A and B are shown apart, each in its own frame.
Chain A
Amino acid sequence: MCLAIPGKIVEISSDNQDSALVDVVGVRRKIDLGLLQDDKPTLGDWVLIHVGFAMSKISEQDAADQMNTLRMLGEIDGAMQEIQGYGLEDVN
């Protein structure tokens, strides 16, 4: 829940601009862009994700650094479990 997970926006829904597909080290899940209304990310942008919502735009380098930090903190598994759980996939 407290993890900030970096992801790359690979698709933005054509019928819902607040819905985007992100790629997090190969895992693709839908996230919500509704909290970045003032600074909408576009295709190829990197974002930090908290509980399924993009909370800030970051650079590709910062995304790599954040992934590395998660790895060093031993939180990679938790982060991937969270990403895989978005959309109720792999849950329950």
Chain B
Amino acid sequence: MRFVDEFREPELISKTAEEIRRLAGRERHYRMMEVCGGHTHAIYRFGLKDILPENIELIHGPGCPVCVLPMGRIDDGLSIAQQPDVIFAAFGDMMRVPGTQGSPLEHKARGMDVRIVYSPSDALKLARLNPDKHVMFFAIGFETTAPSTALTMMRAKAEGIRNFSVFCNHVTIIPAIRAILDSPDMRLDAFIGPGHVSTVIGCRPYEWIAQNERKPIVVSGFEPLDILQSVVMLLRQLKAGEARVENQYKRVVPWEGNRAALKAMAQVFQLRPYFEWRGWDLFRSRHCGSTTSTPNGMRNSALRFPASA
């Protein structure tokens, strides 16, 4: 067992691991998907696979918004930014992601005005600071970042800032889970639900997974003990033949989520019927955003206020 001594509460971790082994028994195989990329990272980093018995298989979900972004979206965003006087603003995570003609960083080296921002509100700040240019924020992320983009757009509208637009690549997690469950190749017993996405959307949006699909789901924190406790909660449900939504991450995730954040997203974004997820050819999922065309020739892309209303 690697690392365990470095963790907080190592004794409790050992006990929890023991409980997992007891519950899992040897008769059957369990396939659990962790939806969130943060959990995948934690599982690898903490070596949790070594702690879990062999008959518990953790399947990695689609939960990395950068990884699932199709190359065409980067190409489209960069082609807009090739127009004169456009600033391409994006999170640092996007800077090395390749498009057909290279990454945003490579475009910057070729003369494009590319800026790293760490917050959508700083992309708006760039627009205020550069009134003669148009700032296009290349927005990306699940529900942890989408409300911030939404509120920023509302602020831009309220301030009457016209030189700011959002190229929306935000994606929502629920349609992805639905597509996974609809896939005939994907046999899963249970889900480890995303932690921080759930601070925004709460636990209710998962209820259909339990009620209609009869799969248990536990919203989980990111510490080793959190993930192991979530596995215990899932095993208990599976052993009892139950399927419920449970919240292991109560200390951070309210059952109802963050209503102000949900409201901001509902006011600004529209769900698309389809959006491609790179590497997940088995499904095309919905994403939130709009393809409303904009004035001044920025076709099929930058969602520019007040065009989204």
Which residues of A are interface residues toward B (Cβ below 8 A)?
1-2, 4, 32, 34-38, 48, 50-53, 55-56, 58-59, 62, 65, 68-69, 72-74, 81-83, 85-88, 91-92
Residue of A nearest to B147 (CB): A35
Chain A positions within 8 Å of B92 at CB level: 1, 81, 85
Q: Are B45 and A72 touching (Cβ within 8 A)?
A: yes
Contacts of B126 in A (CB 8 A): 88
Say yes or no: is B216 at the interface (Cβ < 8 Å to chain A): no
Q: Please, which residues of chain A bring their CB within 8 A of the CB of B118?
A: 51-52, 81-83, 85-86, 91
Ranked nearest first, the 5 interchain pairs of A and B with the lowest CB-CB distance are: A52-B119, A85-B118, A53-B148, A37-B260, A1-B91
Whole-angstrom distance between the Cβ of B156 and the nearest chain A Cβ: 13
Q: Which single residue of chain A is at the shortest CB-CB distance from B36?
A: A2
Q: Is the CB of B252 within 8 A of A58?
A: yes
| Residue in contact with A48 in the complex, picked from B122, B145, B196, CB distance below 8 Å | B196
Q: How far is the CA of A75 from the CA of B115 in the complex (A)?
A: 22
Tell me how far the C-beta of B223 lies from the nearest C-beta in chain A, rounded to whole angstroms.
Answer: 5
**Could you tell me how many residues of chain B have their Cβ less than 8 Å away from some Cβ of chain A?**
48
Q: Give, as a whole number of angstroms, the nearest-CB distance from A85 to chain B.
A: 4
Pick from A1, A38, A52, A62: contact of B251, CB below 8 A. Answer: A62
Contacts of B253 in A (CB 8 A): 56
Check if B193 is an interface residue, CB within 8 A of chain A. no
Q: With the chains together, A92 CA to B89 CA distance in Å? A: 11
Instruction: Give the residue of A51, A56, A69 whose beta carbon is less than 8 angstroms from that of B91.
Output: A51
| CB-based nearest A residue for B196 | A4
9 further interface pairs, Cβ-Cβ under 8 Å (given A35-B147, A51-B118)? A2-B37, A2-B144, A32-B121, A50-B148, A52-B120, A53-B121, A62-B252, A72-B46, A73-B42
Residues of A within 8 A of B155 (CB): 34
Query: Which chain B residues border A87 with CB–CB below 8 Å?
Result: 122, 125
Q: Which residues of A contact B117 (CB under 8 A)?
A: 85, 88, 91
Shortest Cβ distance from residue A51 to the other chain B in the assembled complex, whole angstroms? 5
A residues in contact with B17, CB < 8 Å: none
Q: Tell me if B144 and A35 are in contact (CB < 8 A).
A: no
Smallest CB–CB gap between B296 and chain A, Å? 25
CB atoms of A4 and B144 under 8 A apart: yes
Q: How far is the CA of A65 from the CA of B14 in the complex (A)?
A: 19
Residues of B within 8 A of A35 (CB): 147-148, 151, 258, 260-261, 264
Could you name 6 residue pairs across A and B whose Cβ atoms are closer than 8 Å? Answer: A35-B148, A35-B261, A48-B196, A52-B119, A55-B200, A88-B125
Residues of A within 8 A of B254 (CB): 56
Complex CA distance for A58 and B196, rounded to whole angstroms: 12
Task: Evaluate contact between A65 and B8: CB separation under 8 angstroms.
Answer: yes
User: CA separation between A73 and B251, bound complex, in Å?
Assistant: 20
Interface core residue of B65, B121, B125, B145 (most chain A CB under 10 Å) = B121
Pairwise interchain contact B151-A32, C-beta atoms closer than 8 A:
yes
Give the distance to chain B from A70, nearest Cβ to Cβ, in Å: 9
Q: Considering the chains assembled together, what is the distance between the CA atoms of A58 and B200 in angstroms?
A: 14
